[in-house]
Structure 1
């Protein structure tokens, strides 16, 4: 059985598998709990001595004011000390209407110790009566010797010495494991008595002055813990485990409840609920798997020291408290500072790491199904134009082109007439991929696009990729519009791979992008193409705002003609750019860009972006650092601009363009939304979809209260 004991060398509590007899441990504990109970009845008690030797199970000495009177009991016609320690079912704790916070309840404890001892010696001194009382029982309480009463000239005390009948426990001597438990219980009593008396072990005073000192024996010096005295009946401490399982150390009226019980649940439930509430407010619910109460509890180590009125236990061993909360006789509501300390301890980060690891395992099980592995021909994926060599021994030389929508797919299909279908496949994405850092595994697998991409590639979430030989396609090429939203789609794909298959980012040439012009300026036979908006804006400022030039803005890849598509693909080296990985810093940058908890880092990232920043698409390679800091940041900045109303007129850019178009058209009556949206897009350089523009027009035209329209 695994129990907590004190390690002599380190002076720390450790968990160790011990071989001991629980009944022997319990008869020792009964005497010790009696000494602690006496502290409740007699607050002036100032000392408890505990000795554990090979031939003596325990000597428990209590220096007290209230002692066992050396006088005859009126009803039972025997001395009171004999009645208390030598007669079964004698206790003053039977009246449940009287609220008591002691460990003894049934009148058996100390008598059972007597019964299982070859010799049981009781000594008590009563200075007020000037008497010293000593009595010895032998042969398992079968022989009760007459008490010896003498004059007392010492301080008040009560001392019990017993010699356990080891043969009844199948033992020849007191072994080290049981003695280690005896010694640990001395530390327990020192902690659970709230520092109101001094505890000595084998003649040495224990340096445990508070419950917090005791908690320190269980945790490493630099380990997290938060300790709090809640009230005169409750003190608690919360620590963290490594996730291997819930641990607790608890005391009820100085009894060590080794299996916990309702008092431990009372405290731990409050912590768990606070953590779950915090996790639920975060996007993604804490990780790829939904974090539940048992997961949180597995990271907690709870310490509880409490006084409970008339406690009820599961058995005479008193290992589990079964009293209901409403019968505790007091409350233990954890204050905000304790809960806040736990929330800031790193527990939530640990839960997310666990959740991600478990999510990878679940995802791997899904992907390793027989119908999702390496296949030469893949069925059940609509709109996939599969490469002829995909899934074969030449699959590592194949490239999957992920396009932004069906119109971009049409452009790529036109390009296949140039490069062929043997080593190039095409799959269109429906708009933007989900941010997988905010999805559970269940949500990911329910997302058809993500599931289909994993199937097409034959990805394995449990594998650390060193090469691409086990994949259906050896590389992915991202083909999106060259506007800000196209950069966002690239970032979301990179985020998906880095979060679930990070080793693939480190494989050279696995991830590429296909760039096309966003603006083409022509004058006569002279043509200039621009791959980024800042690059175009810089040229325009230097060339008289482009006067005399004809401008073609490529709203999307669908704007390009088939002839232009063939031109792009015939010059593949000019339009293909490989992403390169240079170290863990780039993993952190990708996390910063998409992790919902790092909003402050993103603010600094956006603020640091300088005007005119753009990626040089003349280079054949692009590091993830440059992509994040020179391209994706432009989307983030633009997204803020179009989402936040301007301080001057209270309008967003889209709303301002709607007003501009309405004023220019001089609208005096009703007009169809589709008709107006087309006019605005044509005259105000609106480069996004007409659906969003029409939504803006409808919202601005609404007249009811709370519509947040122009009039509001």
Structure 2
């Protein structure tokens, strides 16, 4: 899913009245005792929402039907859930009466081929409705090809592509062709494509009685590609091609010169090829004859038919990228060198390899090979592991969905990598092909004789691998380069390597791992003091994986973990000592994390990682280290106090008492808040900032009764202590161990929601700040985060706070039943995640931080928000999963309880979700999506289980479409017609395959992973006593 960025112009405001679940006005009252007869109306107003029974689906349903997808599918699937059933029922009856009154002639119609193309465009050019999805476009500012989430119309893109491929095909017919020009004029909505080389004969076709150019461009099912006995490596196949562009244009002009017959031809078609002007045929002049043959198509797409108003920057960027595609896929072919021009500018593309250098968002190919005259292959590593990325061309056609040619190459690469992984991981689990594919970026450019595709859009090649016209064998040298380079890349991503790492001096080298890129900048600034010979820096993207609870597959797939293994030169199942530690690339590992509890968590996960795989390393003196920086600085006049841990600060604060009110407190919210000069000061005095890890005995000393007593917590600081810090210390005694529980208490307090308001500490700070600011109007996320940090003593990273704010505003399926903040902007979709209380309550209800009041320890909402929005949380020693329930049912039960009646049993409820809920035998629930068989070869999926996002499911379906030499694909095609709220996958598969799926034990739901089991036996929350 996508999330809004703090830098974006995205706003948020508190949910508008009437009546929020949390009231910012203590005088405002809320009546739960209203009579049942008004329950529907009252409950709808009371929770600040128009309807929670599912009627909110109406607008989404309408959006789905208008998207050009399976119109009837949404109506059929959602009809039972709509609140306006009666109105719709009348409408359906009316339609039925209208249908029965039609005449035979009206019911049974015959359409011309042109009319059929216009009525059913999806069959020929794809959808004519705008879709939003990631696409590669050319950025004129950066001169790079970038992947962007854009809105475009597939059908519009396809008619342009037909003309471009038609021009590129001429290079195969005439190798002397050396020029292809594309002009895109967004102002006049005009596109032209010109190619030289052998042109179209300007003669009359004896059989059809018209000129050949007229036949080729103005009559469907005509062309030179119908002889399947002839071996061709062109993109045309079915006789539609350029005619489709003609049909979907308001104006379409053909211009060509035939030097053999010394004739120039011009003809214009108008109004979707419904009107044809007489051709202009004249004798070519001498100057025209010298220029040689050419063919030029100029057309104006009928934007109304594509629901477009103009050629916007994304449309132009998409069309421009296609020009670069042609230059990359055709420039290196035989004959004369092909030059491609875009809007008069010659594209600087020499061959396919230079074309690949334009992709700035993809990892550049680590290995590239021209296998033979017809095949070129490049392979890189997708370090995100987010799924295989492929850029492929068949006869200049961009096969955006891949196909048999991509499966053929990737299967060979996967097997090679599998062998290397298994060799490095003897005795461990085998790496699965899907795991390896997730890290591949594959580039393929090939010429294939008589290719076949799964549709007229030609996005997926279906030609059997055995039919490839030439033997394709990747050389040993290529595979060696790929394997070695792949592992090298994974080890150096964002790494500033020490100059002596991996040499005889590596035992003296220190790898500094930082908490994010901003902390890396701090470390790099410090390197100017200590130098780069013995210090390397590598930033972590977030909290490392907890390897102790992860599967082998998860560990092997985790980028951060495998990066550390490669950088350090660690080998699994090896016991390290003072002697053989010399074999590592670094003899020391230094953690540079924030001095807060998040930083402690990261430190703990790193220790956990080392201890799980190489516990002996923790016995090597000085191997594991920590770099510490101040977390709090207090000043009062000329006096200054600096603290490296919160416990030290809290101890000073308690000892200072009332005198603390006069001090100015500065919190360092992260390493990124320290300046470059401060970094140089830190590294100039490393002894004061570097602490070595000391592995202690697990036997904790017994404590005297005086230390603990009946009130065990009496000797423990109320504020959080740092458990991990106890391991990074130069002095240990039993009093330090008494502080361990304090840290755990703090972590649980921060991580688990409170039973009264259902909020975690960070969420409560957000709500408190909104009330304090009396937030009524929109405000940017970043601005609100700054206000919260200023007024609620929030001392953690701002990014974490941004995520909290965004999470409280999200309202799509699977998030909040009632979002406490109003999302004014893009806060994510299913696809790709007041004022202070009365001062008299301060003493008992409000937390304190030095001389100011911050948020209350808990709120008292009118209805139990913990049940409304549920929670998923984890803290030290505790985790919690609380399901969401219907606000209407909650309010109804509250009223029953007020009247001393027994409440009704409630079941989980997620606003807007249209799936099926089923109780299982273990006390949990099955969340089922919706799938049905539309016909012999088609399935329709209209809902996913709660929490399964559209993009993730799309990747799953792509896996079902994959095939190789050993396995046939399960499905042939997966089409998407979603809206931002409604799911719509149309799946095409062979009839016998669908029969097998239906008859299997778990049926279609099981085969397509549409059932999710959830148990709710772990509902743990805090109460007023923090238990």
Partner of 1:452: none
Paired residue for 2:479? 339
Does 75-84 or 215-224 show the bigger shift? 215-224
Describe the shift of the 1:361–1:32 C-alpha distance in structure 2 as closer, same or farther (beyond 3 A).
farther
SS in 2 for 1:18: strand
Distance across 1 between alignment mates of 2:280 and 2:139? 41
Asked if 1:261 corresponds to 2:399, the answer is no
- How far does residue 331 in structure 1 lie from its aligned partner after superposition? 2.4
Question: Which of residues 294, 298, 302 is equivalent to 2:434?
Answer: 294
Unaligned runs of 5+ in 1: 367-434, 440-461, 477-490, 514-579, 584-712
Residue of structure 2 equivalent to 1:168 = 305
- Quickly say closer, same or farther: Cα 1:507–1:363, change in 2 above 3 A: farther
Contact kept in structure 2, 1:279 and 1:348, CA below 8 Å: no
* Cα displacement string for residues 110-142 of structure 1 (whole angstroms, at most 9, x for unaligned residues): 111100111100000112222110001011101
- Give runs of aligned pairs for residues 125-144 of structure 1, distance below 5 A: 125-144=257-276
Aligned-partner Cα distance in 2 for 1:293–1:201? 40
Scaled by the length of structure 2, what TM-score is found? 0.36
SS in 2 for 1:217: coil
Question: Are residues 289 and 360 of structure 1, via their aligned partners in 2, closer, same or farther at CA, if it must alter by over 3 Å?
Answer: farther
The answer to whether residue 343 in structure 2 is matched with residue 202 in structure 1 is yes
How far residue 284 of structure 1 moved from its aligned partner, in angstroms, is 3.7
Instruction: Name which of 316, 319, 328 aligns with 1:179.
Output: 316
- Tell me the distance in 1 between the aligned counterparts of 2:227 and 2:264: 31
Work out whether 1:22 is the aligned partner of 2:154.
yes
Q: 1:99 and 1:336 mapped to 2: Cα distance?
A: 31
Which residue of the partner structure matches residue 272 of structure 1? 414
Per-residue CA distance 1:303-358 (angstroms, 9 max, x = gap): 1000111111121111111111111212221111111111111438849999x947
Residue number among 315, 324, 330 corresponding to 1:193 in the alignment? 330
The DSSP-based 3-state class of the residue aligned with 1:213 is helix
CA distance in 1, matches of 2:190, 2:339: 21
> Is the 8 Å Cα contact of residues 224 and 345 (structure 1) preserved in structure 2?
no
Residues 59 and 160 in structure 1, CA contact (< 8 A), matched pair in contact too: yes
Pairing of 1:520-559 with structure 2 (within 5 A): none
Shift of 1:364: 12
Q: Structure 2 vs 1, CA of residues 364 and 76 (structure 1 numbering), >3 Å: closer, same or farther? A: closer
Q: Displacement of 1:143 after TM fit?
A: 0.7
Q: CA 1:168 to 1:347, structure 2 compared with 1: closer, same or farther past 3 Å? A: same
Partner of residue 308, structure 1: 448
Report deviation, 1:279: 1.5
Distance of aligned partners of 1:221 and 1:33 in 2 relative to their CA distance in 1, 3 Å threshold: closer
Matched, 1:62 2:195: yes
- Contact persistence 1:240–1:347 (CA under 8 A): no
Partner of 2:356: 215
1:494 to 605, 616, 619: 616
Residue by residue over 1:367-394, the C-alpha shift from the partner in whole angstroms, topping out at 9 and shown as x without a partner, is xxxxxxxxxxxxxxxxxxxxxxxxxxxx
Decide whether aligned partners of structure 1 residues 201 and 358 sit closer, same or farther in structure 2, where only a CA change above 3 A counts. farther
Distance 1:186 1:225, change over 3 A: same
1:245 CA drift (Å): 2.2
CA change 1:237–1:67 in 2 (3 A) is same
2:250 equivalent to 1:118: yes
8 Å CA contact 2:264, 2:282 repeated in 1: yes
Partner of residue 78 from structure 1, selected from 210, 218, 239: 210
- The 1:85–1:357 alpha-carbon spacing in structure 2 relative to 1, beyond 3 Å, is same
- The SS at the match of 1:97 is coil
Deviations 1:51-77 (A, max 9, x none): 11112442111111x211111101111
Consecutive unaligned residues in structure 2, runs of 5 or more: 1-132, 493-539, 555-570, 576-598, 627-690, 700-726, 731-1027
Tell me, in whole angstroms, the C-alpha distance in 1 between the residues paired with 2:604 and 2:294.
78
Which residue of the partner structure matches residue 386 of structure 1? none
Alpha-carbon distance, 1:262 to partner? 1.0
8 Å contact from structure 2 (residues 248, 301) kept in 1:
yes
Give the distance between the partners of 1:164 and 1:467, measured in 2 at CA.
Answer: 60
Which region of structure 1 is more displaced relative to structure 2, 265-274 or 100-109? 265-274
Q: Which position in structure 2 is the counterpart of 1:330?
A: 470
Query: Larger RCO: Structure 1 or Structure 2 (Cα < 8 Å, ≥ 6 residues apart)?
Result: 2
State the secondary structure of the residue aligned to 1:319: coil
2:391 corresponds in structure 1 to: 249
Backbone CA RMSD of aligned residues: 3.9
Cα distance in structure 1, aligned partners of 2:248 and 2:200: 23
Is residue 183–residue 191 contact of structure 2 (8 Å, CA) maintained in 1?
Answer: yes
Q: In 1, Cα distance between the equivalents of 2:572 and 2:163?
A: 60
Correspondence for 1:320: 460
Aligned to 2:296: 159
Q: Deviations over 1:539-586 (max 9, x none)?
A: xxxxxxxxxxxxxxxxxxxxxxxxxxxxxxxxxxxxxxxxx9999xxx
What displacement does 1:236 show?
1.1
What's the TM-score, normalizing by structure 1? 0.52
SS of alignment partner, residue 424 of structure 2: coil
When residues 260 and 492 of structure 1 are mapped into structure 2, their CA distance, relative to the original with a 3 A threshold, is closer
C-alpha separation between the residues in 1 aligned to 2:546 and 2:156?
43
Task: Name the SS of the counterpart of 2:261 in structure 1.
Answer: coil
Cα distance in 2, alignment partners of residues 224 and 273 from structure 1: 18
Equivalent-residue separation in structure 2 for 1:358 and 1:581 (angstroms): 20
